[in-house]
């Protein structure tokens, strides 16, 4: 399937109509999240890099035209005006890793109207999913309070592609590793993994399983200790570690039950055996809420493996995002639908320390002491610089996180900062609203 045809049908019908009506003037669309999901004090901008890759290779081929025609049950000749259409516009965007708030553009596209329209669905899909997952993972980082985190999400994500994205996004916000081998290789993320309960069940005893695993993997190993009785499993693991002279870098993994209580008992057993260097890893349905609880309880857990709930952003799996026209052929436009009002004109976000943000117009001078968030990342359909790196995105994330108000960092009931509108944006909104109202009155 071509990426070009991975779009909503109405993008095709609108783009074709624009071409037939010769409506090719520049249009600016703004992609933003209307409101943060419940339980979120911020979002982490993500998905820009794959979005730019998509735009750079976007071109409607003969095969795409035939697919469009089949979907519309029309002759391919009717869709021929779309053939050869490529993206040669400009993109201004918030770099990956920056924290963003409700109403702030993640990305703005300026291109001939048919192009800007036809890329809408794919851009929304890329940025919304990845921003949602990155934001969930970032909250796990806050909850972990310095403990190591590992991505275990691949087997539960909504397809392998989503699993690749999740591993990358977890690394972006500071996870130490991933169980996803392909992602580890592609993105240079440390690979991490242990064993499954089925491995232990294949042997006559836990001890035989642990010794066999250590023979195959003589370096630091992690034993899964809760297949049968967790207390006995920890004691067996301690005996094997001591017999084989293993300690530094080794660990046990707890995957079920009362993880806090089990970790305390396991720590006591390991310490009594002289294995203070053996770490405890916890897994099993964890996300920021479970990690936060364990950290607050003082559970002696050194690392957390999180998967299902983070890779799917389980408690907030979608964003109330929109890709709305804000200017066409030099004319600012806005939408006045109830509860879905937009503001006109290309935007910029001006940030003061503490995420005290002002949403203004793109051609405004930055207020004193502010930093513009959106950068020009594509011009003429080409990137303005080399692809971004995970390390650069992570550095931006860490810098913004350090500025995040304490009320927005809370795991339970965070209070997100609210961006204000600049004087110029407010004035333009009033002018455009009045123009629309006047035009509507005249049409009656």
Residue range 181-193: average pLDDT? 96
pLDDT at 437: 83
CB crowding 65-81: b at 16 or more within 10 Å, else e: bebbbeeeeeeeeebeb
Confidence category of residue 308, pLDDT binned at 50, 70, 90? very high
pLDDT of 238-283, one tens digit each?
A: 999 999 999 788 999 999 999 999 999 999 999 999 999 999 999 9
Question: How much is the mean pLDDT over the chain?
Answer: 95
Give strand pairing partners of 331: 328
Contact 349, 359 (CB under 8 A): yes
pTM value is 0.95
Is the confidence at residue 443, as pLDDT, over 80? no
CB crowding 47-59: b at 16 or more within 10 Å, else e: bbbbbbebbeebe
Domains in the chain (CATH in brackets) are: 9-133+317-443 (3.20.140.10), 144-311 (3.20.20.70)
Return the higher-pLDDT residue of 105 and 339: 105
pLDDT at 124: 97
pLDDT at 444: 62
Confidence category of residue 438, pLDDT binned at 50, 70, 90? confident
pLDDT of 372-414, one tens digit each?
A: 999 999 999 999 999 999 999 999 999 999 999 999 999 999 9
pLDDT at 279: 97
pLDDT of 99-143, one tens digit each?
A: 999 999 999 999 999 999 999 999 999 999 999 999 999 999 999
pLDDT at 341: 85
């Amino acid at each position: 399937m071509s990426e070009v045809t991975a779009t909503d049908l109405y993008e095709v019908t609108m783009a074709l109509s624009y071409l037939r009506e010769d409506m090719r003037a520049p249009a600016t669309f703004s992609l933003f999240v209307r409101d943060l999901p419940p339980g979120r004090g911020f979002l982490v901008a993500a998905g820009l890099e794959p979005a730019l890759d998509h735009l750079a290779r976007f071109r409607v081929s003969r095969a795409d035209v035939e697919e469009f025609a089949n979907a519309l049950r029309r002759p391919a000749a009717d869709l021929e005006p779309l053939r050869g259409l490529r993206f040669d516009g400009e993109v201004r965007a918030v770099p990956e890793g920056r924290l963003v708030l409700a109403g702030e553009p993640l990305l703005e596209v300026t291109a001939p109207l048919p192009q800007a329209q036809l890329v809408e669905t794919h851009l929304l899909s890329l940025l919304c999913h990845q921003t949602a997952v990155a934001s969930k993972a970032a909250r796990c980082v806050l909850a972990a309070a310095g403990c190591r985190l590992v991505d275990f999400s691949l087997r539960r994500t909504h397809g392998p592609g989503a699993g690749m994205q999740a591993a990358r996004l977890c690394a972006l916000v500071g996870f130490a590793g991933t169980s996803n081998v392909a992602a580890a290789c592609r993105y240079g993320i440390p690979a991490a993994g242990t064993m499954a309960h089925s491995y232990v069940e294949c042997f006559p005893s836990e001890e035989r399983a642990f010794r066999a695993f250590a023979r195959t993997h003589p370096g630091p190993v992690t034993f899964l200790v809760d297949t049968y009785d967790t207390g006995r499993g920890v004691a067996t693991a301690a005996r094997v570690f001591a017999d084989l002279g293993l300690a530094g870098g080794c660990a046990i993994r707890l995957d079920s039950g009362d993880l806090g209580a089990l970790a305390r008992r396991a720590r006591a057993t390991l310490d009594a055996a002289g294995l203070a260097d053996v770490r405890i890893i916890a897994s099993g349905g964890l996300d920021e809420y479970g990690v936060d609880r364990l950290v607050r309880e003082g559970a002696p857990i050194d690392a957390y493996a999180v998967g299902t709930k983070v890779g799917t952003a389980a408690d907030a799996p979608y964003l109330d995002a929109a890709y709305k026209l804000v200017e066409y052929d030099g004319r600012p436009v806005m939408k006045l639908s109830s509860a879905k009002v937009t503001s006109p004109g290309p935007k910029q976000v001006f940030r003061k320390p503490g995420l005290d943000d002002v949403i203004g117009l793109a051609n405004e001078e930055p207020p004193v002491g502010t930093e513009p968030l959106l950068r020009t990342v594509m011009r003429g359909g080409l990137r303005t610089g080399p692809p971004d790196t995970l390390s650069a995105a992570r550095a931006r994330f860490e810098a913004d996180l350090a500025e995040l108000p304490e009320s927005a960092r809370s795991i339970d009931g965070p209070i997100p900062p609210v961006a204000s509108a600049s004087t110029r944006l407010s004035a333009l909104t009033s002018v455009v609203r009045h123009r629309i109202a006047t035009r509507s009155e005249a049409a009656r």
